[in-house]
């Protein structure tokens, strides 16, 4: 039986979630080029306020999300997930940074890393469980052999949906202001030894 589950997200103007390209390459090069981890954390924090009723995570008007406010929010998050020269290229860096942000704001959210070395079947069950519980999933891909994923290498993005079509499994990837569906076997099998992985949440 075919199944599709997609989480509610949010729009800012016509953009699904925030975008690192909103930061000027001239005045904020680090966020423009390497702010993807902070952007996913901002999006998750907003979703936790909007859809889980947590308070104190997003310091601006939740009912009127604007680009200017989001840019200010990203600068706050940048202090926790600073775009290093090598990027936020390890799950532990994300867990530490976003974990400190949540703790500083009194949010009782548990974070756990899920390595890209885990097999497809176990990972698929974890993704379905997280999304069924309403949690967006930050995902890190480092190198990847698939041409269709060339825009998503060395990049953090959010998984916020899954679909089963016959014997095929798909996930929705939110980044760059859009949501795109990818075959999950292709996404997870990067073809390289060094892996990224997922950030899992539990309230």
DSSP single-letter state for residue 144: -
Task: Report the SS3 class of residue 181.
Answer: strand
**Secondary structure letter of residue 90 according to DSSP:** S
pLDDT at 88: 95
Q: What is the pTM of this model?
A: 0.96
- The burial of 151, by beta-carbon neighbours within 10 Å (0-12 exposed, 13-18 middle, 19 or more buried), is given as exposed
pLDDT in tens, 39-93: 999 999 999 999 999 999 999 999 999 999 999 999 999 999 998 878 899 999 9
The arithmetic mean of pLDDT across residues 177-191, rounded, is 97
> Per CATH, which fold does 3-202 belong to?
Cathepsin B; Chain A (3.90.70)
85 Cβ contact list (under 8 Å, min separation 6): none
pLDDT digits (tens, 9 = 90+) for 158-183: 999 999 999 999 999 999 999 999 99
How far apart CA 197 and CA 49 sit, in angstroms, is 25
The two three-digit tokens of residue 190, written as one number: 């990067």
Q: Sketch the domain layout of the chain as residue ranges.
A: 3-202
Average pLDDT, the chain: 96
């Amino acid at each position: 039986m075919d199944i599709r589950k997609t989480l509610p997200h949010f729009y800012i103007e016509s953009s699904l979630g925030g975008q690192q390209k909103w930061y000027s390459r001239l005045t904020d090069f680090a966020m423009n080029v390497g702010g993807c981890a902070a952007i996913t954390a901002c999006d998750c924090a907003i979703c936790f306020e909007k859809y889980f009723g947590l308070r104190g995570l997003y310091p601006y008007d939740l009912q009127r999300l604007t680009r200017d406010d989001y840019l200010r929010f990203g600068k706050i998050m940048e202090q926790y997930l600073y775009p290093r020269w090598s990027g936020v290229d390890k799950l532990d860096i994300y867990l530490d940074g976003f974990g400190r942000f949540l703790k500083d704001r009194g949010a009782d959210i548990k974070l756990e890393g899920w390595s890209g070395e885990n097999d497809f079947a176990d990972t698929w069950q974890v993704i379905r469980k997280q999304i069924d519980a309403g949690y967006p999933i930050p995902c890190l891909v480092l190198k990847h052999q698939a041409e269709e994923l060339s825009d998503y290498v060395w990049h953090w993005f959010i998984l916020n949906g899954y679909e089963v079509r016959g014997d095929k499994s798909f996930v929705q990837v939110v980044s760059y202001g859009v949501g795109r569906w990818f075959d999950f076997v292709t996404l997870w099998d990067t073809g390289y030894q060094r892996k990224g992985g997922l950030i899992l949440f539990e309230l």
